[in-house]
């Protein structure tokens, strides 16, 4: 219902509406010189917003709308881990947008705030942040809560990320594994990664029961959730459930480690006082050790690439490497290590030509 009244020399419109919570409220605006001006403004509000409650919703902060949106559309439709990512976005929205109403977020304002977030985040992180906000605001646009999309044509930037070397060469790898201490939890984890190519979560998921001393193998059947602390989890895919053979030196070092770090058969081998190191912590240890040895920096995941690269260069078949790494298919291995495979093919071509020349 709309009513008009003259207040002094100007006109005011008043729209009665039911609030989002069901209570009746009024929306007023004055300052119109003529009644017809007030009528036109009121009609524009009603034409832009099918329901005046939606117009009022445009005055709520982005953080409030986003929180309602993820509760309604995401809480029961995504995994707990994914929902935590939405909650992290909400946390940053509160810091960057404050109490700014939805209706005040223009394309310029949105870009400014996105740039603020990008000052200390990598482009990939900024892109994920932008993608989640955009999804929510597009729904707000569909509901006529806002009249335009402030995220349209937003430019995603971010700080340059220094990329460490992807993998060590054979000599660097040998230097590393021969200078790691088997009595140290993080250094033993680094050693296992270097000689098996196992993923970080897979190593954390190892228990004494997973070591087969007779066949010298590790049975990989599960992982450990080091990010959100939910305990044991399934492996990345079915192919990740596998047996990884160990050499005798590695088996001996692992035995020494288990003697010094006794655990029940089903307790993870590499927890420190019940706490699993997060990836940043293990990478700090690895970086320090590499630096002390004068070796180039690689990430913990880079040890997996190192292991695979060394095996391929030493003539191990792509199929065997793929199975050892637990890839879902040999295609994954081929695409990941295409540059190495091409180098090996070139060497094989030279061998073939030499053979033919001797015929």
Domain boundaries, the chain: 2-57, 62-142, 170-346
Query: For residue 315, what are the contacts with CB-CB under 8 A and spacing of at least 6?
Result: none
Query: Among candidates 182, 178, 204, 177, which has minimal Cα distance to 253?
Result: 182
List residues bridging with 27 in a β-sheet.
15
What's the pLDDT score for residue 54? 60
Alpha helices (H) in the chain, listed in sequence order: 35-48, 52-57, 62-73, 80-97, 107-118, 123-142, 170-177, 185-196, 200-204, 248-260, 279-292, 300-313, 318-325, 330-336, 338-357
- The pLDDT assigned to 53 comes to 61
pLDDT at 342: 86
Domain 170-346, CATH number (from 1.10.3720.10, 2.60.40.1250, 2.30.40.10, 1.10.443.10): 1.10.443.10
- Put simply, whether the predicted model's pTM sits higher than 0.85 gets the answer no
Return the pLDDT at 291. 95
Q: What is the pLDDT of residue 22?
A: 64
Looking at residue 133, its pLDDT comes to 97
Return the DSSP state at 297.
Answer: P
pLDDT (0 to 100) of residue 143: 81
- Counting as low any pLDDT under 70, the low residues of the chain are 18-22, 46-57, 162-163, 359
- What is the architecture, at CATH level 2, of domain 62-142? Orthogonal Bundle (1.10)
Query: CA 181, CA 190: separation in Å to the nearest integer?
Result: 10
Closest CA to 163 of 124, 116, 105: 124
DSSP state of 146: S
DSSP 159-200: PPPP---S---HHHHHHHHTT--TTSHHHHHHHHHHHH---H
pLDDT at 79: 81
| Residue 322: closest CA among 313, 312, 314 | 312
């Amino acid at each position: 219902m709309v009513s008009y009244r003259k207040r002094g020399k100007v006109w005011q419109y008043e729209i009665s509406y039911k609030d989002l919570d069901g209570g009746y409220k009024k929306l007023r605006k004055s300052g119109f010189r003529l009644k017809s001006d007030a009528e036109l403004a009121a009609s524009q509000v009603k034409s832009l917003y099918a329901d005046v409650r939606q117009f009022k919703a445009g005055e709520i902060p982005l953080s409030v709308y986003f929180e309602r949106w993820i509760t309604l559309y995401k809480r029961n439709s995504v995994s707990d881990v994914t929902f935590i990512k939405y909650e992290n976005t909400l946390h940053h929205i509160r810091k960057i947008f404050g109490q700014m109403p939805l209706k005040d977020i223009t394309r310029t304002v949105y870009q400014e705030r996105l740039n603020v977030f990008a000052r200390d985040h990598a482009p990939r992180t900024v892109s994920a942040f932008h993608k989640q906000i955009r999804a929510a605001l597009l729904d707000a646009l569909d509901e006529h809560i806002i009249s335009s999309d402030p995220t349209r044509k937003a430019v995603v930037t971010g700080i340059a990320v220094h990329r460490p070397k992807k993998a060590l060469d054979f000599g660097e790898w040998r230097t590393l594994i021969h200078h790691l201490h088997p009595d140290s939890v993080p250094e033993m984890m680094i050693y296992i990664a270097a000689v098996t190519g196992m993923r970080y979560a897979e190593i954390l998921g190892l228990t004494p029961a997973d070591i087969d001393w007779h066949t010298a193998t590790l049975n990989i059947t599960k992982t450990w959730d080091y990010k959100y602390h939910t305990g044991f989890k399934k492996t990345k895919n079915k192919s990740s459930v596998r047996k990884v053979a160990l050499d005798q030196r590695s088996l001996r070092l692992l035995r020494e480690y288990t003697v010094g770090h006794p655990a029940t058969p089903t307790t993870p081998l590499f927890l420190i006082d019940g706490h699993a190191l997060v990836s940043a912590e293990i990478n700090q240890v690895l970086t320090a050790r590499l630096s002390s040895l004068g070796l180039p920096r690689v990430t913990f995941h880079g040890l997996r690439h190192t292991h695979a690269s060394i095996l391929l260069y030493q003539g191990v078949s792509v199929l065997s490497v793929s199975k050892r790494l637990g890839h879902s298919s040999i295609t994954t291995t081929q695409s990941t290590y295409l540059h190495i495979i091409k180098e090996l093919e070139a060497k094989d071509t030279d061998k073939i030509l030499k053979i033919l020349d001797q015929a």
